[in-house]
Structure 1
Amino acid sequence: MTPGGVSVVDAFRAVAAAVGDRTALVHRGRRWTYAELADRVERAGRVFTAAGLGVRRERPDLAGHEIGQDLVAIDAHNGVEWLEALFGAFAARVAPANVNTRYTPEELVELLGMLGPAALVHHRSLAEALVEALAELAPAGIDPVCWSIDDGTGPRVGVEWSTALDTAPPLELPPSDPDDLYILCTGGTTGRPKGVLWRQGDALVAAFGVSRRDGTPYRHAEEVGEAAARRRARVICPAPPLMHGAAQWLSVQALCSGHTLVMPDVVAHLDAADLWDTVEREEVEVLQIVGDAFAVPLLEEFRARPRSVGSLGLVVSGGAPLQPTHKAALLEVLGDGARIRDSLGSSETGLQARHTSRPGEVATGRFRPGPDTRVVDAARRRFVAPPPGPGAGSGTETEPGWLAQAGPVPLGYLGDAEATARTFPVVEGVRVSVPGDRARWAGPDEIELLGRDSVTIVTGGEKVFAEEVEAVVKTHPRVVDAVVCGVPSRRWGSEVTAVVAVAGGALGLEELRDHCRRHLAGYKVPRRLVVVDTVRRSPAGKPDYRWAVDTALGSVGTD
């Protein structure tokens, strides 16, 4: 924990005071100025406060995995309501937490049972699953106050959100505190859901990326507003859903920096045509996507119907790999001067490293680290020093270890002291976050990401990083998408299995193995192949490894 800092809502308030007439948000033909959005945020805060929500125990009295604030869960698609609920919770000193809109009632029971929300803001179209989950949770005493966002379908549970804001009582809101929490739920596709607890003062810098030009924190909120007033507003469009951290982080960064945030009209899923139409119509300058899962349909749509997108100079990708061939194709679409930035980070670290590609300079898998990025050894006891000498291509890679982050990092996991101690250890006297990504130094100023430990396959005593194999499999000219997983094997422990979607003709195992042998050691080459119509991914584009394993077992079984 880093003491002090600026709370998220105070940063936003200062920006709204400084650039109140500037456009803050554009969605479905409507525009909100900063002054108008700030008014809605204050009303949301008063709605939460009037419901009796707030702080129960102050932060200094609590351990890292404990919470002393009431919690509001947000189960909604992208829209102004998501932002009203998020910033409104901050204004009322209530801790906001995201809910995956794809969750089944069973998954909602697990997530909400972990969160124990005192309040819930949701779209009516998502209410049926919520009603079922809340009925099962009621005997455990989980009975949140509900507000319903009217999107035309589903039952209304609780008070209609817009009406509540329009009639918000004129209460005085409590002073915010940078020690108040921001909660980011994660882990739905690779493990049980966890709630990552961030101090707002830390999250503003490390997760949301709101800081001075040199990366140091702002000392007071007024300084944030002054910087926004000097800054030219850029038009920024996050394509992923706000229920995932990447879109939340970019959106908060934009609104705490005085930029204009644009949301596509279609919010329940990625609609490539609508997204390109939005980019063209609003002259978007920065577009956020999630790896190949977004890039492939965007490229297909653009080739079918090109748009005028000369305003778009930067595409930011994170959360899933973006292959070099797709980067090159996107850069060709965007033209000279465009850039693609791969962002490396996690819910438990914030932004850690970046890699920028330009026309003729395309690569992937290696990143330029931030000042607090570290690599720790396999035992998590010491830091691995970067090698001396030149960077990429020097042949001076270090031993594989764990990607780690020092500096402002989360307090812990909600309600889980053991996982908190494991993920946030003290190494050489420094508290760091080690969420489970394997990495090594590829040079003094370059880190190579090897993959997440939770998708590491142990085969014949060798460790194989699934993401490394996926990257090679996807370079086959007929592979559209791929996920690599391990299938139990009596001989090998696990067998590397590729689950792929193809186009342009059939693909056999031996052809794929021959292709992979040119790039991978023999033990990393897939031993099994499963061809599917579509590779399942989360709405944010992340691979669904549980589905991949189930699909592989259903197709090839075990030996």
Structure 2
Amino acid sequence: MATSNQGYIASELARNDFQNTYDLLVRACASHPERMAFSCGDSHLSFAELARQADALARYLRHGLGLQPGDRLALQLPNSLQYPIATFAALQAGLVLVNTNPQYTAAEARHQFRDSGARAILVLDRLLPLVRAVQADTAIEHILLTSVDDMENPRYDGDEPGTQRFMQALRIGAELPPVEPVAGLERLALLQYTGGTTGVSKGAMLSHYNLLANIIQTLELFGKPGLLEPATDVRIAPLPLYHIMAFATNCLGSVGMGLHTVLIRDGRNLDEIIEAMLRHPFTLLTGINTLFVGLMNHPRFGEVDFSHLKWVTAGGAALNDEVARRWKQLTGAPIREGFGLTETSPVVTTSTSISPHRDGYIGLPLIETELRTVDDDGHDVAPEQPGELWVRGPQVMQGYWQRPEDSAQALTADGWLKTGDIAVLDAEGFVKIVDRKKDMILVSGFNVYPNEIEDTVMCHPGVRECVAIGVPDARKGEAVKLYVSLKDTALDAEALIAHCRQFLTGYKVPSFVEVLDDLPKSSVGKLLRRELRDRARAEVG
């Protein structure tokens, strides 16, 4: 299934003279410099203020730290105004961003920093001990520190040797020579790390062209009459910007569309989200299934004014039909689900409140996005028949950073990305995800890879064998269940979970542990993950 208007992206890039993703901010400042761009807590940035501060930081990164175009800058932050400032500073300076989850353990952070070769990092100051613990194993030379409340209560002086405060960097950078934006649409802009069936986290290489193409694709859809009014629209953005969906949608996309975006520091803090909803007359909201469930169960949900809400965008995890029905009943606004991947910058399909919609499906492909469903031999299957979903379009990544073999496995010679998702396409092009070909587990919108969990569990001397699977969970979409057989029969579930917490981010830690005398195996001794997964899902209905 192919979309029409081939050549639209190229013509839009040429018409707007885009040379760099930073040009999204240049374009916004040219047309509405004083319009509010971002809010977070009690702090706000207009588009002009965002550009001014990003420019100061770009000067500091290039002239103060000596970073060169192509060098990698890691960001390890929660949602904050510092995030878009650093993003557009890096893009202006020609650096490559590396988004990093602030919840990572030392082992997870070490792999990402070392694999990316990041020379500098902007990190929340309370996470400095983690960076110090792994720095010797990485290429990190420069550490910029910031506090959650730096914009309200700026700190300029630091007492940590070998570091610089973010606010002081802005102050110094404002006095340094200008930095001209580095042109080149095929240049690398972002290393966004994802996982794989081996459990090894890989950096998807997203170019300026990839990111801008995906923004233009969504603008083409959302720019239709009767949808957005950028001068007055306000988007509540609880999802973390280090996640590709939020980064592209709530950071780059919001600037491209000229929206006022309210960043929520902690998307798990429902009180903070409700307070933002009460404070701002919001018209748009992005979230995931678990967030909608939590909000609807919040005691102050009934106080929120939803009369201006146009529609809600869901992504990152499957949307439950009953949750969508209940949300529409309580708020009057529909939830429209989208689909994407880290490797597609990220949006592949989506819909709006006035777009064609089919219940149970995840929308239509964006403009210039081609979809196929194929069998195991790569042959197209008939409409409405399940097959692996393949995607081709201008938003598809360049490949995986320094992993040519993985890139060759994921991308065909003629540009098709093998998603690993089993889907059906109907005759009109609507898409439904049926299952995942890979064994990846999706917990609250985050990819969790069984092999990573199993490798961690097998490090415990009391474990003989283990298998990690995903089971349906009303709150998180999926939860991790661990099956184990033991060498040490005195070992219990609590001890295994405590072991996992030492080495894994919280959302990767198993929620359930079941001990079996032996795990099922094939005739050649291969552990039968699917048999255990089917058994577990049958038990929960």
Which range, TM-score by smaller chain? Answer: 0.7 to 0.9
Number of residue pairs the alignment of both structures matches: 447
1:162 and 2:160 correspond: no
Residue 304 to residue 278, structure 1, CA distance change in 2 (3 Å): closer
Q: Distance in 1 between matches of 2:101 and 2:412?
A: 28
Residue in structure 1 matched with residue 154 of structure 2 by the alignment? none
Residue 184 to residue 497, structure 1, CA distance change in 2 (3 Å): closer
Residue in structure 2 matched with residue 364 of structure 1 by the alignment? 360
1:52 and 2:58 correspond: no
Q: Distance in 1 between matches of 2:410 and 2:110?
A: 25
The equivalences for 1:137-152 within 5 A come to: 137=137, 142-151=139-148
Deviation at 1:93, TM superposition (A): 0.5
Q: Distance in 2 between matches of 1:334 and 1:102?
A: 32
Q: Secondary structure at the match of 2:33?
A: coil
**Is the 1:21–1:34 contact (alpha carbons within 8 Å) kept by the matching residues of 2?**
yes
Q: Secondary structure at the match of 1:297?
A: helix
1:121 and 2:116 correspond: no
Q: Distance in 1 between matches of 2:48 and 2:362?
A: 41
Residue 557 to residue 258, structure 1, CA distance change in 2 (3 Å): farther
**TM-score between both structures, scaled by the size of structure 2:** 0.73
1:314 and 2:322 correspond: no
Residue 93 to residue 17, structure 1, CA distance change in 2 (3 Å): same
Residue in structure 2 matched with residue 519 of structure 1 by the alignment? none
The equivalences for 1:499-514 within 5 A come to: none
Q: Distance in 2 between matches of 1:380 and 1:199?
A: 30
Residue in structure 2 matched with residue 220 of structure 1 by the alignment? none
Q: Distance in 2 between matches of 1:454 and 1:348?
A: 15
Q: Percent same amino acid at aligned positions?
A: 18
Q: Secondary structure at the match of 2:303?
A: coil
Residue in structure 2 matched with residue 38 of structure 1 by the alignment? 51
Deviation at 1:211, TM superposition (A): 4.4
Q: Distance in 2 between matches of 1:296 and 1:362?
A: 22
Residue in structure 1 matched with residue 34 of structure 2 by the alignment? 21
Deviations 1:290-345 (Å, cap 9, x if unpaired)? 22x2111111115665322322222111010121111112112212xx22110101
Q: Secondary structure at the match of 2:343?
A: coil
**Is the 2:121–2:140 contact (alpha carbons within 8 Å) kept by the matching residues of 1?**
no
Residue in structure 2 matched with residue 323 of structure 1 by the alignment? 320
Q: Distance in 1 between matches of 2:119 and 2:512?
A: 38
Deviations 1:122-151 (Å, cap 9, x if unpaired)? 11122221111113x15xxx1331110134
The equivalences for 1:67-466 within 5 A come to: 69-135=70-136, 137=137, 142-151=139-148, 156=160, 158-168=163-173, 169-177=175-183, 178-187=185-194, 191-206=199-214, 209=217, 211-212=219-220, 232-250=231-249, 251-264=251-264, 267-291=265-289, 293-302=290-299, 306-335=303-332, 338-349=333-344, 350-355=346-351, 363-371=359-367, 372-379=369-376, 381-384=378-381, 387=383, 397-426=384-413, 430-455=414-439
**TM-score between both structures, scaled by the size of structure 1:** 0.71
Deviating more after overlay: 169-178 vs 19-28: 169-178
Q: Distance in 1 between matches of 2:44 and 2:316?
A: 29
Q: Distance in 2 between matches of 1:101 and 1:70?
A: 21
Q: Distance in 1 between matches of 2:314 and 2:374?
A: 28
**Is the 1:313–1:334 contact (alpha carbons within 8 Å) kept by the matching residues of 2?**
no
Which consecutive unaligned segments of at least 5 residues does structure 2 have?
A: 1-6, 151-157, 455-465, 476-492, 498-504, 521-541
Q: Distance in 2 between matches of 1:339 and 1:302?
A: 21
Deviations 1:187-217 (Å, cap 9, x if unpaired)? 359732211111112211226756446999x
**Is the 1:24–1:259 contact (alpha carbons within 8 Å) kept by the matching residues of 2?**
yes
**Is the 2:222–2:352 contact (alpha carbons within 8 Å) kept by the matching residues of 1?**
no
Q: Distance in 1 between matches of 2:390 and 2:338?
A: 14
Residue 370 to residue 14, structure 1, CA distance change in 2 (3 Å): closer
**Is the 2:76–2:121 contact (alpha carbons within 8 Å) kept by the matching residues of 1?**
yes
Residue 43 to residue 159, structure 1, CA distance change in 2 (3 Å): same
Q: Distance in 1 between matches of 2:255 and 2:145?
A: 24
Residue 367 to residue 286, structure 1, CA distance change in 2 (3 Å): same
Deviation at 1:269, TM superposition (A): 4.5
Q: Which amino acid aligns with 1:316?
A: T
Deviation at 1:10, TM superposition (A): 1.3
